[in-house]
C-alpha cells in the first residue's frame, strides 16, 4: 500500500512539473508543418463530405466563408480535385481514398513555399 501511495505521489509530481514548463515558440517551419497537417485533414473531410452526398455547391459555399486567402485557396483547390472524380471512384475503399487525399494535400502544402513573415491565420492545437 505504501508503494502505491509513493508511486501516485511521484506520478502527480511528474504531471505537475510537466505542466509548469513553458513550451518554446514554434519555428516558422514547425508552424507551416502544423498548418499543412490541418490542410491534409481538411482534404480528408472534403472527401468524406463528398462520400456522404454533400454537393459541390454546398462545399464551395462553405469554403468561401474562410477568411484566410492561403487556406481558402488550398481548400477550394481540394474541392475541385475531389469533385472532379467520378463518385464510384470515391466509394470503392472509402478510408483509403480519404487517406490518399489527406496525404496528397499535406505533401502539396509542404512543397509550397511560404513566407515566414506572412503565415496563414492558423491557431496551433
Sign of CA dihedral 101, 102, 108, 111: negative
User: Which cell is 59 given?
Assistant: 462545399
Largest CA distance in the chain: 65
Q: Which residues contact 63 (CB under 8 A, 6 or more apart)?
A: 72, 75, 76, 79
Q: Give the residue from 82, 104, 87 showing the smallest Cα distance to 36.
A: 104
Residue-level pLDDT at 123: 55
- pLDDT band, residue 91 (cuts 50/70/90): confident
pTM: 0.77
User: Domains of the chain: which residue ranges?
Assistant: 27-111
pLDDT tens per residue across span 25-65: 888 899 999 999 999 999 999 999 999 999 999 999 999 99
Amino acid at each position: 500500500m505504501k508503494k502505491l501511495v509513493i508511486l501516485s505521489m511521484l506520478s502527480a509530481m511528474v504531471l505537475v512539473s510537466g505542466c509548469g514548463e513553458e513550451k518554446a515558440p514554434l519555428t516558422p517551419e514547425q508552424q507551416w508543418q502544423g498548418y499543412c497537417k490541418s490542410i491534409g485533414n481538411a482534404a480528408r473531410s472534403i472527401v468524406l463530405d463528398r462520400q456522404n452526398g454533400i454537393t459541390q455547391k454546398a462545399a464551395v459555399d462553405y469554403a468561401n466563408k474562410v477568411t484566410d486567402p492561403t487556406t481558402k485557396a488550398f481548400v477550394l483547390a481540394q474541392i475541385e480535385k475531389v469533385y472532379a472524380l467520378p463518385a464510384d471512384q470515391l466509394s470503392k475503399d472509402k478510408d483509403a481514398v480519404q487517406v490518399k487525399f489527406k496525404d496528397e494535400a499535406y505533401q502539396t502544402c509542404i512543397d509550397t513555399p511560404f513566407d515566414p513573415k506572412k503565415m496563414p491565420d492558423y491557431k496551433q492545437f
